[in-house]
């Protein structure tokens, strides 16, 4: 099984004819993603990469039955692209774009919630269901099928964990990069709940970072409440000084909120195994796959 995305998903790309959209859509197709349409206003009626182009998401959905959208449009237009997809009833929206103005995303997320659809991102690498499909920019060759689910705020660390697991002979179910901006779609809690219900996912790797309180909330409300599967965690940014932004727009510590130590402590209390390096994450996840019953949570 899979969460969120499968080989049966019908994917459209907003911004398909642009440079980034073209490059990554080619990679998505090469991985096996069922790419059925592109949306580029003013270019409707043409084709690109062998798929039809439409002026609007509503047109693309009506003609192709698309249910997933990948967004590769410039930051000034990305929030509107998210809301257009939500208004058209696209069930899963994956926004790769970074640099979207904060108040644009406040408005877009509220619109998505009202529409009752799911959003991943923005400023994220997207997701891959190993051996089936991907939407986003996670490299194709590092993914291999197996029992480990991955959810992460960091794109680069997502790639490192996937590659490390694959090189160790440990495959993945679905790898989800939720992004590191202050205003996001799906949270750690949301993705963890999906992994909890997925019988193919036996172990979960959770990659957090300083800033915000999503990791602590996930530890308290999901992992620590009969999650039933081993969780291996890693928190990046432990050496960041308080009050200083580090990388992601959301990676800022304010007072005692969002510190690495508070996240580590919360996850440990919930029963997760916390690692200090990516190598340790790979080893711990592999061990948990081999002996899932001994590592299962309360």
DSSP 135-167: EES--GGG--EEEEEEEES-HHHHHHHHHHHHH
- The residues, ordered by sequence, that sit 6+ positions from 149 with a Cβ below 8 Å of its Cβ are 3, 172, 173, 174, 175, 176, 195, 198, 201, 203, 204, 205
Report how far residue 259's alpha carbon sits from residue 64's, in angstroms, rounded to the nearest whole number.
46
- From residue 142, give the alpha-carbon distance in Å to each of 53, 139, 176, 235, 248: 30, 6, 14, 22, 24
Find out whether 40 and 18 touch, Cβ atoms under 8 Å. yes
In contact, 271 and 297? CB cutoff 8 Å:
yes
Report which of 241, 250, 176, 175 is spatially closest to residue 209, judged by C-alpha positions: 250
Asked whether 145 and 31 are in contact (CB, 8 A), the reply is no
DSSP secondary structure letters along 239-276: TPPTT---SSTT---BTTBT-HHHHHHHHHHHTPEE-S
Q: Tell me whether residue 248 is exposed, middle or buried, using C-beta atoms within 10 angstroms of its C-beta: 0 to 12, 13 to 18, 19 or more.
A: buried
Q: What is the DSSP code string of 52-85?
A: EEESSHHHHHHHH---EEEE---HHHHHHHHHHH
- Is there a catalytic annotation at residue 248? yes
Tokens describing residue 235: 């928190």
List 24, 48, 202, 248, catalytic entry = 248
Which residues belong to the active site?
Answer: 248
């Amino acid at each position: 099984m899979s969460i969120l995305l499968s080989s049966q998903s019908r994917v459209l790309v907003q911004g398909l004819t642009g440079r980034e959209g073209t490059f990554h859509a080619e990679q998505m197709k090469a991985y096996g993603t069922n790419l059925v349409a592109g949306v580029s206003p003013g270019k409707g009626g043409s084709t690109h990469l062998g798929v039809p182009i439409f002026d609007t998401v509503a047109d693309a959905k009506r003609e192709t039955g698309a249910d997933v959208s990948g967004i590769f449009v410039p930051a000034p237009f990305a929030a509107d692209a998210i809301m257009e997809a939500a208004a058209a009833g696209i069930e899963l929206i994956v926004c790769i774009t970074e640099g979207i103005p904060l108040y644009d995303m406040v408005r877009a997320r509220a619109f998505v919630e009202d529409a009752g659809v799911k959003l991943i991102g923005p400023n994220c690498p997207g997701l891959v269901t190993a051996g089936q499909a991907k939407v986003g920019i996670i490299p194709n060759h590092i993914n291999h099928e197996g029992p480990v689910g991955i959810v992460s705020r960091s794109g680069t660390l997502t790639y490192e964990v996937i590659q490390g697991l694959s090189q160790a002979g440990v495959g993945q179910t679905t790898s989800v990069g939720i992004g590191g901006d202050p205003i996001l779609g799906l949270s750690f809690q949301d993705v963890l709940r999906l992994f909890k219900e997925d019988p193919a996912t036996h172990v979960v790797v959770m990659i957090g970072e300083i800033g915000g309180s999503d990791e602590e909330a996930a530890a308290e409300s999901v992992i620590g409440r009969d999650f039933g599967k081993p969780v291996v965690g890693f928190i990046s940014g432990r050496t960041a000084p308080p009050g200083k932004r580090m990388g992601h727009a959301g990676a800022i510590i304010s007072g005692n909120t969002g510190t690495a130590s508070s996240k580590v402590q919360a996850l440990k209390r919930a029963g997760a195994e916390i690692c200090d390096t990516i190598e340790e994450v790979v080893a711990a996840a592999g061990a948990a796959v081999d002996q899932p019953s001994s590592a299962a949570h309360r």
